[in-house]
Structure 1
C-alpha cells in the first residue's frame, strides 16, 4: 500500500507531519510526501519517507503568466509523474489552500482521500470536522486547544498519535557537528543553543535578552551559547555578540539542515522562539525552553514532545490576533525576562526537571501527553485556576468529543468553575444559540416535508443568526467560523439536520459544564 501526504506549508509544519508518516508506516503504508520545492530538503529529516515530490510552484506561476494552457500542461505532467512512479491508494491533504485542494481533487480520482478536499464544483469537501477545526482554529487565537501535530493526525484519520521522532543523524553529520563544536572555551561545561530568529520581528525575544542570558549561562554555569539561524538572521547573532562577555559559537547561516539537526542532538539545551528549529529540536530529543510572543502560543504551535518548557507573557491581550497592529507597542516582547528563563534553564540543567515559575509575569507550561496520547500543557506558573487555563482545558475535552462524533453523556461532563463575568458572557451566548438551534430544527422538519419559499428565507436568516451569536463571543469564535463553513457544504436537509443535532449537543454540553 502507498500513501501520499500533501503539506504545502513551511519548514516547521512539514516536520510536524512526522507522527502522521510514522502512523501510516506502522499501518503498512509506503509513504511519499509532496511539499513546495524550496522546502524539499526538509523531508531528509523525516523518518520513513520513501519518495519526495517537490511542487514547482515558481515554474507553474511563470507558465501561468505566459499562457494558462501551458500551466495546465505543466500541472498535468506533474500529477501524471506521481501517478506513474508512485500510484498511491491513499491521498492525505494537510493544507487547506485552494491550490492544495485542487491537487487533491486531481490526484484523488479513484483513490481514498482524507483531509482538505474539494468537490467537482469547486466547493470545500473536507473529510472530517477535524479538518474544518484545524483551518478555523488557527485563525482564532485563544480558541485552539490542540497541538498542530495532533490536529494533523486527526485530519489524516489517525486517532492515536505516534511519537514525534525525526530521523537520526547520519554518521557523517554527527562528525560534522563534533567539528563545529570542537575546542570550546577553557572550563566549558557544555552548550546551550540560541535561536533568535522568528517569522516576524514582534515574535522575537529581544537580542539584549539573549545577550543577558548568555552572560549568566557562562558566568554561573560555564555553558557556551551556540547561535543558530539562517543566513538572513545573521544580523541578529551579530547584535547578540556586540559587547558580549562570554565565549560563543556562531553558526548562523553556516549549517545545512542535516548539520543543524546533528548539532541540536549535541547541545545540552535550546532556547528558542516559536520556529522550525524549535520543532526540529523537539523531534530530535533536545531539551528546550521556548518563548511564545505576539501571535504565537504554545497550546497549538508548541513543541510536540514531553518535558519541555514553554513561556508566554501573562497578559490579557496575548496571543495577538493575526493581521492586526498591536495597540500596546508589542509590550509582550519584554515580559519574559532573561532572569526568568535563566532560573528555569539552570534548574533543568542541574536536575533534569523544570521548576515552578510563579509570580514572574509569565505563563509557563510543561509539555506532556494526556490519556489519549495528545500533547498537553501543565501550568508551572500557578495559572491552573485562571479562566483562560480552565476554558482551554474544557474546550479540549468537549471539542474532542464533538469533532470525533462522540455522544455527550450528561453524567460524564466535566464541571468547570469560571469567574462570574466569563460564565455570564458564555451562558448568554450559549443560551441564545441553543434557542435559535431549537427553532432551526423545527423549521428544518417543516422544510423537509414542504419546501415553502417563505420558510426557506426564515431558515437561512436563522442560520446566519447562529453565526452572529457565536462570533459576538470571542471565546466561541472558532465555532462561529466552523458553523459558517459547515452550513454551506450540505447537499440535502439530512446533512443540515445532522449539523443542527451535533451543535445542539455541543452547546448544551458547554452550558451544563459551566453552570
Structure 2
C-alpha cells in the first residue's frame, strides 16, 4: 500500500516523523512524504521514505489572500502532481491546520475522509479527525502541561502505528555524497590546526522564542566546565539569526571555540552532530536531529517548553526544567516572575548531571537544587517516559502526569477502563489534599452528570419532544463546564465537546459516548480514592 505522510509544520516536527515512517515500513507499506519546500532537506534524512515531495506552502497561502482563483488552480496542480507521481492509497496527515486538512482530503482516494488517518474535513468542510488520539493531539498542543505523552508517540498513535516499531534512526547520505559530506564536516571542525585531536561539545544557543532561550552566560559557564574538566572544545551551532548570540559567546569564552553558526547547511549540521561527545541545547529542531542521529543530548526547557511532550525521543537523553510552580507557562501569558525560570537551571546542575550520565559510567553526582532533572526512558507501555534524577518522582505534577498516561492510553485505544473501586497496576496516590479534593469533586460531578445524560437520552428515545431535547443539550454543556472549571481538566472538557459534536449525532452514538466518558471519570476517581 502507498501511504503518503503529510507534515507541514516546522523542522523539528518533521524530524520527529521518523518513528511513524519506521512503523509504516515495518507494516509492509511503501511510504511517501509531502512537506514544505524549505524543509525538504530534513525530509531527505528520514529513513524508509520511498518518495519525497515538497511544495511552496507559504506562497500558496499568500496567494489565497491576493487571488484565490489562482491559488485554487495551483492547489489543484499540486494535487494532480502528487497523484501522478505517487498515487497514494492512504493519507496520514499529522498537521491539524485547515490547509493541511483540505490537502489531505483532496489527495485521498475518492476524496474520502475514511482514507485519511489524522486530520481531514468532511464533505461539508467540518473537521474530521480519525481518532481520539488525533483530537487530543490538536487540543493538547495549544495548552501547556496538558499532554502526558511525547508528541512522537502521539504522532505514532494518530498514524495507527502506536503498537509497532518506534525506531528513531535518521539516515545520512551514502556513497559519493556521503564521502563529500564527511570531507566537508572534517574541514569545518578542523579548520584550525590546534583542533586536530579535539573532542567536541555542541552548543545550540538559540530557541524559537527568546523567553525559551537559556542565557548565553549559562552556556558559557557550562562550556567552561567541560573544557576544563573533560577537555571538550565548544562547537557553536545555529542559523544566521543566532549570529549575535554566537559573537557574545566567542567574546566571553577564554579558550578555543569553533563557531559554525550560519556556516552549515542542514545536511552538514546532520554530519557534524555525530562527531560531538554531547549537545547542550534549548528545546530546538537541532535537539531532535541530534536525538535521531544518536548524539547524547542535554536539553534545557524554559517558559512554555516542557520535556514531557517535546523532549528528545531517545533513551538516555537528559532534560532540565525549572523547579518552580509556574512552569510551564501558558502560551501567550505574560510572565509575572520576570522570567525567573531562565536563571533557575544553573550550569552546575547541567554539568554535574551530564558528567554522571555520559562521562562517568553512571556514577551519581550530587545535583544542586533549582531544577527538575529527567532522563528519557522507555516505559512499560512502549512510550517514551521520563524518570527523575532530582527527587521529583513523587511530586504532585509527576504523579498526575503518570495517572493521565495510564488512563488516557486505555481510553484513546478504546480499551477497558478500571471498574469502580479498581486501581491500575501503578496507582497514583500521594496528591496533595487540596488538588485531590478539587479533582475528585470535578470528576464526581462530571460522572453524575454523564449518568443523568444517559437517562435523559433514553427518555428522549421514547419522547422526542423539545423539552427533553433542551435538557439533554443543557446537561451536555454542564459536563464541559464542570471539567473546564479545573485547569488540569480543561482539555478533557474540550475533548468531550469535540467528540460530542463529531460522534453525538445520533442517540445511540450519544449513549455510547456518554458511557465511555463516564468510565473515564470512574477511572480517575478510582486512582484518586
TM-score range (shorter-chain normalised) is over 0.9
- What is the match of residue 71 of structure 1? 71
What residue is the counterpart of 2:96 in the other structure? 96
- Rounded to whole Å, the distance in 2 between the matches of 1:359 and 1:475 is 29
Give the 3 Å change call, closer, same or farther, for CA 13–485 of structure 1 in structure 2: same
Looking at structure 2, the residues matched to 38 and 355 of structure 1 have their Cα atoms a distance apart, in angstroms, of 43
1:456-502 Cα shifts (integer Å, max 9, x gaps) = 11211111111111111111122011112111113312222121111
Query: Which residue number corresponds to residue 473 of structure 1?
Result: 486
Identify if the C-alpha distance between structure 1 residues 356 and 366 changes in structure 2 by more than 3 Å, giving closer, same or farther: farther
> Where in structure 1 are there 5+ consecutive unaligned residues?
none
In 2: Cα distance, 1:354 partner to 1:135 partner = 41
Give the aligned partner of residue 247 of structure 2: 238
Aligned pairs (5 A) from 1:3-18: 3-18=3-18
Q: Note the C-alpha offset of 1:358.
A: 4.4
Distance 1:354 1:233 in 2: 35
Confirm or deny that 1:117 pairs with 2:117. Answer: no
Q: What secondary structure, in the 3-state scheme, does the structure 2 residue paired with 1:125 have? A: strand
Question: Which stretch shifts more, 295-304 or 81-90?
Answer: 81-90
Aligned position for 1:166: 170
Question: How far off is 1:372 after superposition?
Answer: 2.7
SS for the counterpart of 1:489 is: helix
- Alpha-carbon deviation of 1:242? 1.8
Residues 308-317 or 352-361, more deviating: 352-361
Partner of residue 317, structure 2 = 308
Displacement of 1:188 in angstroms is 6.3
**Corresponding position: 1:503 with 2:512:** no
CA distance in 2, matches of 1:116, 1:354: 46
Listed as ranges, the matches of 1:60-209 within 5 Å are 60-110=60-110, 112-160=115-163, 161-169=165-173, 170-182=178-190, 183=192, 185=194, 190-209=199-218
Q: TM-score normalised to the size of structure 1?
A: 0.97
Distance 1:46 1:246 in 2: 37
Deviation of 1:262 (Å): 1.0
SS of equivalent residue, structure 1 residue 96 = coil
Distance 2:228 2:355 in 1: 12
Q: Secondary structure of 2:319's match?
A: strand
Question: What is the aligned partner in structure 1 of residue 351 from structure 2?
Answer: 342
Q: Which residue among 490, 493, 498 is the counterpart of 2:507?
A: 493
- RMSD of the alignment, in Å? 1.6
Equivalent residue for 2:526? 512
Shift of 1:239: 1.0
Is 2:34 aligned against 1:51?
A: no
Alpha-carbon distance in structure 2 between the residues aligned to 1:368 and 1:421? 31
Mapped pair 1:37 → 2:41: no
Q: Does 1:422 align with 2:435?
A: yes
Residue 340 of structure 1: CA displacement? Answer: 1.1
The CA distance in 2 between the partners of 1:184 and 1:435, in whole Å, is 73
Deviation at 1:176, TM superposition (A): 1.7
Counting matched residue pairs gives: 515
Deviation at 1:187, TM superposition (A): 9.6
Identify which of 304, 308, 326 aligns with 1:299: 308
1:215 to 2:224 alignment: yes
Q: CA offset at residue 349 of structure 1?
A: 4.0
Aligned to 1:446: 459
Offset, 1:186: 6.7
CA offsets 1:68-88 (integer angstroms, 9 cap, x no match): 222111111110111111101
Change (3 A) 1:460 1:354: farther
* Alpha-carbon offset, residue 243 of structure 1: 2.7
1:138 is displaced (CA, Å) by 1.6
Residues 184, 224 of structure 1: 8 Å contact kept: no
Query: How far apart in 1 are the matches of 2:153 and 2:58?
Result: 31
